[in-house]
Structure 1
């Protein structure tokens, strides 16, 4: 199921009058939970309560889920037909197991989590109580502001569920404006590693590039980097490794050597060495991938690797 599969009648219907509206509780009013709770509310579901611990979470809940009561977790489960768990990956299994053991899980509960790492196996303890686990992970970075609601349109969600209830998970994603992509239980770790690598490490590389430009007094690092990085990302998404340019891909050994020496001098002058460490690892990976696809001759790739290991 995708957004294209929604009938015109349902698409134009008042969300609150659609069939199958649920009472939804939200556990975790972080950047993801509050936004998805608001998206489900916009789709006509009733948000019965939200669990928010920190002051920032409470403020976010007030902004995105006005008039929704802040409740303890057992009370949210008691009031709700569906519960959205937007909690850290490492917290989810223990939290769910504890709630099941304490008798707070009810027969027929739809228990939905947003973890990228976990499928539905992390929620296995609820099955003995007749509850239904679903995993829907938005492949997007969140600000926790209302602008995220617009960004959900066409956002891909990695969906994992038992086959009989998979259409339910897909429908929830479509209602929020997203596009569900089915991820097998056994593939969740690879799926999450890919997204984390592509997103989190991109932030690190960007921050390091900005740091280097700031070291030499460039006043507007964003303006320098934005067109280059946006074009590189678009080209890489379109052409993969074929989009690669630059000194490593060309086999410009002396240029690579010069870059490394410059970074080592900056480290010797007090700059944290994480920039150098990451640059060396990525330069080596770039050479390896360029050689494998035939864009870099083996002798040039070997010289690049030698430069990267010189003392």
Structure 2
């Protein structure tokens, strides 16, 4: 009986959340059981248990020798070392597709692994992994995957993989990879910081459960922002309510001074975005003057 699985054997280097989630999603698409390697044997065993149809590899060389799909899920800073070590492993003439899941780096970092039979690419899932692989497999469906292939053939191989995961491929040029990743960090990571600062101010104002108070407002603001962009903005800056802004600045300066610089920076950026999109109304001039004052 001929297997219909698209890969002979899948290998994963790295044992974190992304490895477990994508490994769990791909395990059924490998003729032989998936193999995984990591520096920490305990974490490796845990990943094997989560993935299910998997086993621990003896070393990276086994993955380089036996696998036609190799996924690198190590930290960004560890990637060059892993690539160099993998490049020194026993060469194989079998066709392989090797990719990493880093957002920061493109395909060029994998150049030592490229050959006539080895295609390389960067495939970054634009989502958060929380350590719940079963639900994350579902979240990958219709999620975007930023792809930078070393060749058109590599892009085609990446498209095949993303389709297996149920995702949607978004091509990113090599030179734009850092900007792409900065945008994601600004939109997602800084959102966490923004909410933390708001909670700090609410707690200082005497609110016992800041997150509970914020949650409906933030969720609604996020939804309208994703649906309408800057057209969904509301609040005193849009209205040009300089007296309200002045009171905000005074209160922050006196009671929550660590929040004052980011508040000013975000408020000024909001005015810049208003101006860029629609032309900020004249009523916002006084607000800008207040925010730019030392």
Q: Same fold (TM over 0.5)?
A: yes
Counterpart in the other structure of 1:250: 239
Cα distance in 2 for residues equivalent to 1:212 and 1:140: 29
Q: How does 1:267-282 map to 2 (within 5 A)?
A: 267=256, 273=258, 275-282=259-266
Q: Secondary structure at the match of 1:68?
A: strand
Cα distance in 2 for residues equivalent to 1:45 and 1:252: 65
Structure 1 consecutive aligned stretches of length 4 or more whose deviation exceeds 6 Å = none
Cα distance in 2 for residues equivalent to 1:267 and 1:278: 11
Counterpart in the other structure of 1:26: 12
Cα distance in 1 for residues equivalent to 2:241 and 2:45: 53
Counterpart in the other structure of 1:302: 285
Q: Secondary structure at the match of 2:129?
A: coil
Cα distance in 2 for residues equivalent to 1:151 and 1:249: 35
Unmatched 5+ residue regions in structure 1?
1-15
Cα distance in 2 for residues equivalent to 1:71 and 1:215: 54
Q: What is the total number of aligned residue pairs between the two structures?
A: 289
Unmatched 5+ residue regions in structure 2?
none
Cα distance, 1:51–1:281 mapped onto 2, change above 3 Å:
same
Per mean C-alpha deviation after superposition, the further-off stretch among 37-46 and 200-209 is: 37-46
Counterpart in the other structure of 1:6: none
Calculate the aligned-residue CA RMSD, in Å: 2.4
Cα distance in 2 for residues equivalent to 1:41 and 1:279: 47
Counterpart in the other structure of 2:99: 112
Counterpart in the other structure of 2:168: 179
Task: Return the offset for 1:44.
Answer: 4.5
Mapped contact 2:6–2:29 kept (Cα < 8 A): no
Cα distance, 1:228–1:47 mapped onto 2, change above 3 Å:
farther
Cα distance, 1:198–1:71 mapped onto 2, change above 3 Å:
farther
Mapped contact 2:64–2:86 kept (Cα < 8 A): no
Q: How does 1:15-164 map to 2 (within 5 A)?
A: 17-44=3-30, 46-54=32-40, 57-58=43-44, 60-66=46-52, 68-69=55-56, 71-100=58-87, 102-104=88-90, 106-107=92-93, 108-128=95-115, 130-146=117-133, 147-161=135-149, 162-164=151-153
Cα distance in 2 for residues equivalent to 1:120 and 1:96: 12
Mapped contact 1:25–1:80 kept (Cα < 8 A): yes
Cα distance, 1:43–1:179 mapped onto 2, change above 3 Å:
farther
Cα distance in 2 for residues equivalent to 1:294 and 1:217: 37
Q: Secondary structure at the match of 1:134?
A: strand
